[in-house]
Amino acid sequence: MLPTLVLASSSPWRREILDKLGLPYRTKHPEIDETPLPDESAAALVSRLAEEKARAVAPAYKDALVIGSDQVAVLDEQIIGKPGTHERATEQLRALSGRSITFLTGLCLLNTATGKTHVEVVPFHVHFRKLSDGLIEDYLQHEQPYNCAGSFRSEGAGIVLFERLEGEDPNTLVGLPLIRLVRMLEAEGVSPFQFQRS
């Protein structure tokens, strides 16, 4: 019998990505404190939070594979948060003009039956065009990405801001690295197609 697949997230974007595999799965919102620890690096933060999210959900499922994921955007080794306001988004995009930002996504797959975890941090790089104030204003008025780290939605009109994208899996940029997730499932002896046949 196959384990239950659980996504420890309430993110509609992560659900949309996982839907691409056509797998049956459940979702459960993880209740955790996402505050960074003192002197914690961005990579250590997303690795820890991805695992904490999976562990927070795990007790509700006896025989499950629980997926946890967390992501931050980094510029000059500083984490860039969600802007929240139009003014802050304008500042963020001006700072990103002609530069590159790195998204680090922590991914965890936890087997609740064995306690085994697989944890990885997957980078993805976004290289920005030179952005005029006019383009920034037009984009922000169009998409209003104030709840998105870096002040853009790559899956939407944010693509007009980019020079190029660099990474192994474009799903990573939106918050769930599917290529790595499939490898983790296989390491647990499960092919994604087994879920579809069950």
Catalytic machinery residues: 70
- CA–CA gap between residue 145 and residue 152 (Å, rounded): 5
**What is the bridge-based pairing of β-strands 100-111 and 78-80?**
unpaired
Q: Are 87 and 136 in contact (CB under 8 A)?
A: no
User: Residue 195: phi, psi to the nearest 5?
Assistant: -65, -40
Q: Give the Cα-Cα-Cα angle 193, 195, 198 (nearest 5 degrees).
A: 110
User: Residue 53: phi, psi to the nearest 5?
Assistant: -65, -45
Distance of CA 149 to the CA centre of its chain: 11
